């Protein structure tokens, strides 16, 4: 992202750990110095140092980039996703019809997790957090909505919820 000559880097996804520097032996005697790895890390670090700032979407992603990729901590800032409340505002009729579809009363509390169902989105954490909330608010339900490679695991997620009939999986 470039604005008036300033270059900002945006890291939206959680990164994988950097590759290990593994040196092989050449001719069975001489140990290599991992030039491929040095070059790879140099390129990654250059883009961080050339950028005026680095924006991430969560504190966890910020910490990973600093510890794994050695991004300068003073350049990395968290900018959470936002919602345009003018475009997405509560509609009482839609709310009531959805509660009827999901067989939930007006008194029930609902936690909603909407995500692309991939390991990077950490749906397991949403379920663990729900279990904590459910302990002090027993009329709470978790609605998980999304699609993706982990969609086949929806049946297993039900088992992660400590209380049956509190988990609702909803896909397209």
**Segment 70-125, tens digit of pLDDT:** 888 999 999 888 777 777 777 889 889 988 888 888 899 888 888 888 887 888 88
Greater confidence (142 vs 14) lies with 142
Q: How far apart are CA 53 and CA 160, in angstroms?
A: 39
**Where in the sequence of the chain do the CATH 3.40.50.2000 domains occur?**
92-170
Choose which CATH entry (3.30.70.1140, 3.40.50.2000, 3.10.580.10, 3.20.20.140) describes domain 92-170.
Answer: 3.40.50.2000
Amino acid 113: pLDDT: 83
Greater confidence (74 vs 126) lies with 74
Percent of the chain with pLDDT over 70: 79
Q: Read off the pLDDT band of 165 (50, 70, 90).
A: low
> What is the pLDDT averaged over residues 136-165?
73
Longest dimension (CA), the chain: 75
Greater confidence (164 vs 105) lies with 105
Closest CA to 57 of 18, 115, 102: 115
Q: Read off the pLDDT band of 164 (50, 70, 90).
A: very low
The answer to whether the pTM exceeds 0.95 is: no
Give the tens place of pLDDT for each residue, 16-72. 677 777 777 767 666 677 777 788 888 888 878 888 888 888 898 899 888 888 888
Query: What stretches of the chain adopt beta strand conformation (E)?
Result: 2-3, 6-11, 25-26, 30-31, 53-56, 76-78, 109-114, 140-145, 167-170
Q: How far apart are CA 136 and CA 15, in angstroms?
A: 35
């Amino acid at each position: 992202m470039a604005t008036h000559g300033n270059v900002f880097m945006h890291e939206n996804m959680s990164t994988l750990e950097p590759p290990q520097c593994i040196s092989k032996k050449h001719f069975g005697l001489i140990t290599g110095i991992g030039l491929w790895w040095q070059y790879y890390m140099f390129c990654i670090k250059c883009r961080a140092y050339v950028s005026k700032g680095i924006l991430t979407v969560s504190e966890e992603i910020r910490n990973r980039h600093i510890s794994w990729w050695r991004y300068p901590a003073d350049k990395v800032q968290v900018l959470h996703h936002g919602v345009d409340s003018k475009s997405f505002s509560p509609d009482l009729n839609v709310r009531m019809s959805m509660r009827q579809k999901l067989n939930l009363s007006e008194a029930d509390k609902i936690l909603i997790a909407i995500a692309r169902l991939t390991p990077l989105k950490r749906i397991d954490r949403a379920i663990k957090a729900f279990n904590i909330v459910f302990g002090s608010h027993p009329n709470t339900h978790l609605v998980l909505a999304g699609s993706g490679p982990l969609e086949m695991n929806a049946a297993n997620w039900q088992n992660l919820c400590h209380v049956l009939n509190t988990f609702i999986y909803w896909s397209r």
